Chains A and B, each alone.
Chain A
């Protein structure tokens, strides 16, 4: 008698593309499995699906799965490689690839941990620091923050879809965008930000000190307004906490 392992390996081989059909029931599973992945990725990438069209999207998913087989029983976390896959699969659609990166970032943002952010505490924290200690501080962003630099302009197309007013075709040849994705009061917010702020947030998220982050922001945009940006981002919960640096003159 065949072992359980052998039976499962043979069954698995039948389910793969090109696998010989052993029984009519195998087709039921093949169909159901294919449909599961199309449904799951349509749920994660609804705007990509609209941009490509349902038939082309389904075709992309059918090609994606054997190239990037799922390893988890949780379908909600499957498909992070889809944007990279679209680079090869649909090289003439950089908008679809950028939209896939955005939609994955939105998904990650929606499931990220909550941040215990209290603006008043952060302001108090800064106030207590000596001036020369401020540069050494590290700043925590809300765990739901994601930053994306795109090659194409997709923000308008994504926003139009949220307002259910239909997709505005991305502007061919328009410059890329700098996007901040974050959770705010149970909603996901996608904002275009300027170069200075993008560089600042990116540096903070990477764990750079406050001083280094400011330096990178000013490199990207000499007009970067730290005071105003910091106040806004503490107020809206993007900046979620601060930690004093290693050297703090108050504590010697």
Chain B
């Protein structure tokens, strides 16, 4: 944050975790407001746990609404996941079974959030390390139906599609093809930890297979605001900028073809 405020880099926009700014006041929110003066901000939440059977945390939602009022973000997003039971929160993006019951529940939660915020949100696909025999709807179709029912947009995490394809089989390109292009409001790119189970660490450079899937996504969907997501082992700012530049080149190539 200090680097960004000192150097005002020519980056088109920034994304932050919403929960980090659920504060009354202080240097964190002051810095964010100053960055906001020069750049659009996207708020990316991790803690709402929309797919949980427990009711939405109203205090959490109120803090998000307040932050949206203060920051006037370009985009607001959350995840297709659950994370709470009555006795506790797990503070992790836990996987849903893709059932009609789950679709009804998530749709109603998304309606509630969009109503409270007075704007549509984007829902992001996650890396799931457990799948459920109970699932009835393919994941991409589930996201498409969620968007159709609620008017929410989709945040396409290309890295997560890759990781799921590696861990569970399934055709990553076919997943992209099943996503309604018009609903996609943003794309995330990240690196993952390869292994017997590929882990979505968001702590490495974007690997070739994710770049390839991104190119396929752009051909299929068109250009979209794209974020390099790097949450752990955060590198120097220039490394992030170089990754962003790689995405920018592909976006420009896609626009050139379209033109």
The number of chain A residues touching the other chain, given as a range, is 35 or more
Query: Which residues from B are CB-within-8-Å of A112?
Result: 24-26
CB of B53 closer than 8 Å to a CB of A? yes
CB of A29 closer than 8 Å to a CB of B? yes
| A26-69 near B? 1/0 per residue, CB < 8 Å | 10110011001100100000000000000000000000000001
Are the C-beta atoms of A25 and B130 separated by less than 8 Å?
yes
Are the C-beta atoms of B26 and A72 separated by less than 8 Å?
no
Given the interface pairs A25-B129, A28-B129, A29-B130, the reply to whether A114 lies near B47 with Cβ below 8 Å is no
Given the interface pairs A3-B101, A4-B53, A143-B24, the reply to whether A69 lies near B19 with Cβ below 8 Å is no
Measured CB to CB, the closest approach of chain A to B211, in angstroms, equals 25
CB of A229 closer than 8 Å to a CB of B? no
Are the C-beta atoms of B102 and A73 separated by less than 8 Å?
no
CA–CA, A24 to B91, complex, Å?
Answer: 20
CA–CA, A187 to B131, complex, Å?
Answer: 47
Within 8 Å by CB of A7, from B49, B88, B97, B128, lies B97
CB of B245 closer than 8 Å to a CB of A? no
Q: Quick one: closest A residue to B131, CB to CB?
A: A25
CB of A74 closer than 8 Å to a CB of B? yes
Are the C-beta atoms of B99 and A4 separated by less than 8 Å?
yes
Are the C-beta atoms of A111 and B60 separated by less than 8 Å?
no
Given the interface pairs A23-B130, A74-B47, the reply to whether A111 lies near B23 with Cβ below 8 Å is yes
CB-CB contacts below 8 Å: A56-101 with B: 69-78
Are the C-beta atoms of B24 and A111 separated by less than 8 Å?
yes
CB of A183 closer than 8 Å to a CB of B? yes
Given the interface pairs A1-B134, A73-B46, the reply to whether A9 lies near B129 with Cβ below 8 Å is no
Given the interface pairs A28-B199, A29-B94, A72-B57, the reply to whether A144 lies near B26 with Cβ below 8 Å is yes
CB-CB contacts below 8 Å: A109-160 with B: 109-114, 143-144
CA–CA, A71 to B22, complex, Å?
Answer: 16
CA–CA, A12 to B83, complex, Å?
Answer: 9
Given the interface pairs A8-B53, A112-B26, the reply to whether A73 lies near B91 with Cβ below 8 Å is yes
Are the C-beta atoms of B24 and A25 separated by less than 8 Å?
no
Within 8 Å by CB of A24, from B24, B94, B197, lies B197
CB of A175 closer than 8 Å to a CB of B? no
Within 8 Å by CB of A70, from B26, B91, B96, lies B91
Query: Which residues from B are CB-within-8-Å of A24?
Result: 129, 197
A–B pairs, 5, beta carbons within 8 Å:
A4-B96, A4-B105, A74-B19, A144-B26, A186-B26
4 shortest interchain CB distances as A-B pairs? A73-B47, A25-B129, A69-B88, A113-B24
Q: Chain A interface (Cβ within 8 Å of chain B)?
A: 1-5, 7-9, 11-12, 15, 22-26, 28-29, 32-33, 36-37, 40, 69-78, 109-114, 143-144, 183, 186-187
14 new A-B contacts, CB < 8 A, other than A12-B88, A76-B19, are A4-B53, A8-B52, A8-B85, A11-B130, A24-B129, A25-B167, A25-B197, A28-B197, A37-B91, A73-B46, A74-B60, A76-B22, A114-B26, A183-B26
